[in-house]
Amino acid sequence: DAKTTQPPSMDCAEGRAANLPCNHSTISGNEYVYWYRQIHSQGPQYIIHGLKNNETNEMASLIITEDRKSSTLILPHATLRDTAVYYCIVGDYKLSFGAGTTVTVRA
Amino acid sequence: SAVISQKPSRDICQRGTSLTIQCQVDSQVTMMFWYRQQPGQSLTLIATANQGSEATYESGFVIDKFPISRPNLTFSTLTVSNMSPEDSSIYLCSVEGQGVATEAFFGQGTRLTVV
């Protein structure tokens, strides 16, 4: 069973920030939060992960609440190529994919 | 990072036959994972394959239907046996990065259609 809850879909304007929420209220102390995305007909692509601190890399930022029960993935300047299904996953080496959020970036 | 090559990229097979999917990694990895993605669905983990031991299957998947080989640290195969149209899916190979809690890398998948 997926241990995360994400909105099924969201739209975003090109050039604007996209904020993708994820609830993981049953996360345990040693479980990381991972984000992946899957562009149509491709294998999933890693975006970012974190344990308790906020993280940033060249693709995105990850904001984790202090109680670790939810997180937000931020794509700072969305482009049309960011249109994909985004998966929030908590756990260890075995990834359990939920339904994800279908993000559509519109010009 | 790891580069994963899967073969074949796609295939159309007759029901009742079997297909073996190959996964080659450009570096040595301890664990390899096989996933299935049914049309319009998310990914479901089939099994974890460690070199030198039997694969560990997730609930709902059995070795007779999805036998897996892991002969060395860079290669694995997944066989889809006695196929039916319900087996039409994308099958993906994945490996874990080096170190603790690192990212996973995925192949581009094998798109299987059973007719």
Phi, psi (5° rounding) for residue A72?
Answer: -135, 130
Token pair 């994800």 is at which residue? Answer: A100
With CB atoms and an 8 Å threshold, state whether A98 touches B42: yes
**Does the bond joining A44 to the residue before it have cis omega, within 30 degrees of 0?**
no
Backbone angles phi, psi at A80, to 5 degrees: -60, -30
Whole-number average pLDDT of chain B: 94
- Do A93 and B105 lie within an 8 Å CB cutoff? no
Give the angle subtended at the CA of B90 by the CAs of B78 and A9, to the nearest 5°: 140
Each residue's pLDDT tens digit, B47-101: 999 888 889 999 999 999 999 999 999 999 999 999 999 999 999 999 987 766 6
Render B4-32 in DSSP notation, one character per residue: EEEE-SEEEE-TT--EEEEEEESS--SEE
Cβ-nearest to A94 among B48, B92, B106? B48
* Residue B100, pLDDT score: 64
Which comes out higher in pLDDT, residue A95 or B75? B75
pLDDT tens, A12-70? 999 999 999 999 999 988 889 999 999 987 999 999 999 998 999 999 999 999 999 99
CA triplet B36, B46, B27: central angle to 5 degrees?
Answer: 90
> For residue B43, which residues of chain A lie inside 8 Å, CB to CB?
44, 95, 97
> Dihedral sign, CA of A27, A30, A35, A38?
negative
Closest CA to B104 of B30, B39, B6: B30
User: What residues of chain A lie within 8 A of the CB of B108, using their CB?
Assistant: 42-43
Question: Which residue stretches of A1-107 are H helix?
Answer: none
Q: What percent of chain B has pLDDT over 70?
A: 97
CB contact set of B102 (below 8 Å; sequence gap of 6+): B96
**Interval B1-57: pLDDT, tens:** 789 999 999 999 999 999 999 999 999 998 999 999 999 999 999 999 988 888 999
Size of the A and B interface in Cβ pairs below 8 Å? 45
A49–B101 CB contact, under 8 Å = yes
Q: Is B86 helix (H, G, I), strand (E, B) or coil?
A: helix
pLDDT range class, residue A1, cuts 50, 70, 90:
very low
Q: How many CB atoms lie within 10 A of CB A11?
A: 11
